[in-house]
Amino acid sequence: MDEHTAYLTFAHPNGIIEPHMDDNRTSFEPSPAPRILSSSDHLISREMIDPDALRIISRLHGQGFIAYLTGGGVRDLMLGKRPKDFDIVTNARPGQIKKRFPNAYVIGRRFRLVHIHVSGGRIIEASTFRRSLDRDEEEIAAADGHRMHIYGTPFEDAFRRDITINGLFYDPVMDAVVDYVGGVEDLAARKVRVIGDPAARFKEDPVRIWRVIRYAARLGFQVDESTEREIPSHIGLLAACSGARLFEELNKDLAYETQPVIEGLRKHRALGHILGRIGADYETDDALFSRLSVILDCADKAKAAGFPIPVEEMYALAFWPWAEPLLSDSKEDPHKTLKNALLDAQSRITLPRSIRANVVQMFIIVAALVRAVRTGRMRWSLLRRAHFDQAFRLFFMIEKCRFPENGESFETLYHQTHPSGDTARSRFPRHRLRKPKRQPESQS
Ligand code: ATP
Ligand code: MG
């Protein structure tokens, strides 16, 4: 009995090592043995793991299933960082998972996942081991919606993932890390390496290039040479990805460490493919990009200090250095100028209309606040605009490079530079400065 078989037999006495064999495959290669790190070989501490995730895994184990933590959660645990979320993979099918947890809901049509609702309104995602399909199988599965094709073994599930450090499993019951893809070695060497052939994996899903750049930037890792070599010839494929998918990916970067990833995307000439003219301008104009970098860096510090910045405001911060000159140069109606410039930029990202409209509204107020501080002339009626609070936060971040703390208002800031200027209260009685109940601006 080799190390792998011994481990699985011990963990799963009823012998469910591979998934059910009802997936239409006529032949079945036994999986190669993974590298197993037992408790003494890794530094994962159970205190860092969500007790609800542990409870779910141990219930699945108790019922004879394999269940692991996976993905970014394991990567972060291995690095001694507290993970953002804990995803579970198991050989239990979605229906079998659902049956065992009263608050579980099966979601998704093609790739069915289970969302298990736990304390505090949180959701833990549990999915069944899957494999990547070849082109023929993809077609069949897409045509008849057949689901049984997609399930696979733990080995296949690890290999369908993007990069080795995201392809690890952790079994909290055995306190063991299960590595089929060389992720442990790459974590130690601080390398980001695509699983399998980088050219083929990039062609299959160009978003993986973005993900390579993201994790190298976030973790300060090197991109492995064989992966790096394939980036320039495949980077253009990003422009062909669906706008909704690109929007989702950018949201992930705007939510966490934004600046290093945007810098990585610029270094690899990806910004133009993602953001059209806006990205191309950030790529070619060093001064413009360094202004963006300063702003994003401040936003990252604010987020790390516990001031969450809504995604809409992050879009505004990310576009501000590009938009500001348009506002100061144009004699046209600023709404029109901004709206047209955003449309003309031909960003490949599908930015929802509401975000675009709100960003435009915020920009107009931010531009007015910048002017007021420079000239001493302030239109205090701006304080009544629906987007004033958001715009003030942006203005503050852009000017002061930090998040406004309690009690810091535009008035206090304005009076530091213009002590003799008039005040909101002298112009408008207090009751008129209250925010109107309905938002007056049209959602253009
Ligand atoms: P984080 O959430 O900290 O950014 P993550 O690795 O958990 O990191 P997710 O976007 O949440 O990132 O994805 C979860 C897991 O799904 C990844 O760790 C990876 O294993 C897999 N994955 C995500 N996107 C892809 C993709 N395009 N191709 C292959 N596998 C992917
Ligand atoms: Mg994740």
Task: Identify the pLDDT of residue 167.
Answer: 98
pLDDT digits (tens, 9 = 90+) for 8-22: 444 443 333 444 444
Domain membership of residue 211 (yes or no) is no
Which atom of ligand 1 has the smallest separation from the CA of 207? 27
How far does the centroid of ligand 1 lie from the alpha carbon of residue 303, in Å? 21
237-253 average pLDDT score? 96
Residue minimizing CA distance to atom 11 of ligand 1: 72
Task: Identify the pLDDT of residue 402.
Answer: 83
CB of 84 shorter than 6 A to ligand 1: yes
User: Are 160 and 32 part of one and the same domain?
Assistant: yes
Which of 48, 111, 162 maximizes ligand 1 atoms within 8 Å of its Cβ, making it the mutation to test the pocket?
162
Query: Which tokens belong to 336?
Result: 């029109």
Domain membership of residue 442 (yes or no) is no
Task: Identify the pLDDT of residue 299.
Answer: 96
Task: Identify the pLDDT of residue 14.
Answer: 35
Predicted model pTM: 0.88
How far does the centroid of ligand 1 lie from the alpha carbon of residue 70, in Å? 9
Domain limits for position 32 = 3-189
Residue 113 has φ and ψ, to the nearest 5°, of -120, 165
Domain membership of residue 270 (yes or no) is no
Contact between 81 and 43 under an 8 Å Cβ cutoff? The reply is no
Higher local confidence (pLDDT), 404 or 188? 188
Choose the weakest-confidence range: 146-160, 163-177, 273-287. 146-160
423-435 average pLDDT score? 53
Domain membership of residue 331 (yes or no) is yes
How far does the centroid of ligand 1 lie from the alpha carbon of residue 124, in Å? 15
Domain membership of residue 398 (yes or no) is yes
Q: How confident is the model at residue 436 (pLDDT cuts 50, 70, 90)?
A: very low
> At 299, which helix (H) or strand (E)?
helix 286-304
Of 159, 189, 219, which residue is a domain's last? 189
226-242 average pLDDT score? 97
How far does the centroid of ligand 2 lie from the alpha carbon of residue 429, in Å? 49
Of 165, 189, 213, which residue is a domain's last? 189
Q: Cβ contacts of residue 439 below 8 Å, gap of 6+?
A: 386
User: Are 185 and 289 part of one and the same domain?
Assistant: no
Task: Identify the pLDDT of residue 343.
Answer: 87
Higher local confidence (pLDDT), 120 or 432? 120
| CA 337 to each of CA 52, 160, 330, 364, 375: distance values in angstroms, whole numbers, following the listed order | 50, 45, 7, 11, 23
- Provide the 3-class DSSP secondary structure of residue 170: strand
147-155 average pLDDT score? 79
- Provide the 3-class DSSP secondary structure of residue 37: strand
Domain with residue 12: its CATH number is 3.30.460.10
* pLDDT(254) > 60: yes
Domain membership of residue 117 (yes or no) is yes
How far does the centroid of ligand 2 lie from the alpha carbon of residue 252, in Å? 9
* pLDDT(50) > 70: yes
117-125 average pLDDT score? 95
Separation CA 90–CA 127 (nearest Å) = 6
How far does the centroid of ligand 1 lie from the alpha carbon of residue 167, in Å? 9
Residue minimizing CA distance to atom 2 of ligand 1: 72
User: Are 185 and 291 part of one and the same domain?
Assistant: no
User: Are 291 and 185 part of one and the same domain?
Assistant: no
How far does the centroid of ligand 2 lie from the alpha carbon of residue 54, in Å? 17
Task: Identify the pLDDT of residue 400.
Answer: 85
Q: Name all contacts of 194-200 with Cβ < 8 Å and 24+ positions apart.
A: 194/162, 194/163, 194/164, 194/224, 194/227, 194/230, 195/158, 195/159, 195/161, 195/162, 195/163, 195/164, 195/167, 196/159, 198/226, 198/227, 198/229, 198/230, 199/230, 199/233, 199/234
User: Are 295 and 183 part of one and the same domain?
Assistant: no
Domain membership of residue 272 (yes or no) is no
Task: Identify the pLDDT of residue 425.
Answer: 58
Task: Identify the pLDDT of residue 249.
Answer: 96
User: Are 304 and 184 part of one and the same domain?
Assistant: no
Ligand closest to CA 166: 1
How far does the centroid of ligand 1 lie from the alpha carbon of residue 242, in Å? 18
CB of 324 shorter than 6 A to ligand 1: no
Provide the pairing of β-strand 176-179 with 67-70: unpaired
Choose the weakest-confidence range: 99-103, 138-142, 333-337. 138-142
Higher local confidence (pLDDT), 143 or 210? 210
User: Are 428 and 312 part of one and the same domain?
Assistant: yes
Contact between 319 and 345 under an 8 Å Cβ cutoff? The reply is no
Residue minimizing CA distance to atom 17 of ligand 1: 71
User: Are 175 and 295 part of one and the same domain?
Assistant: no
Percent of the chain at pLDDT > 90 equals 64
Task: Identify the pLDDT of residue 403.
Answer: 83
Query: Which tokens belong to 406?
Result: 């309690």
Residue minimizing CA distance to atom 18 of ligand 1: 71
How far does the centroid of ligand 2 lie from the alpha carbon of residue 251, in Å? 13
User: Are 289 and 185 part of one and the same domain?
Assistant: no
* pLDDT(376) > 80: no
Q: In whole numbers, what is the pLDDT of the chain averaged over residues?
A: 86
Is the Cα dihedral 104, 108, 113, 115 positive or negative?
negative
Domain membership of residue 376 (yes or no) is yes
134-153 average pLDDT score? 67
Ligand closest to CA 162: 1
* pLDDT(24) > 90: no
User: Are 167 and 40 part of one and the same domain?
Assistant: yes
CB of 71 shorter than 6 A to ligand 1: yes
> At 291, which helix (H) or strand (E)?
helix 286-304
pLDDT digits (tens, 9 = 90+) for 387-425: 888 999 999 999 888 888 877 877 777 777 777 766 665
Of 189, 223, 244, which residue is a domain's last? 189
Ligand closest to CA 71: 1
- How many domains are contained in the chain? 2
* pLDDT(313) > 70: yes
Higher local confidence (pLDDT), 439 or 299? 299
Task: Identify the pLDDT of residue 370.
Answer: 87
Per-position DSSP letters for 119-142, written without gaps between them: GGGEEEEEEE-B----HHHHHHHH
Ligand closest to CA 195: 1
Q: How confident is the model at residue 25 (pLDDT cuts 50, 70, 90)?
A: low
Q: How confident is the model at residue 147 (pLDDT cuts 50, 70, 90)?
A: low
CB of 404 shorter than 6 A to ligand 1: no
* pLDDT(170) > 90: yes
Which atom of ligand 1 has the smallest separation from the CA of 256? 4
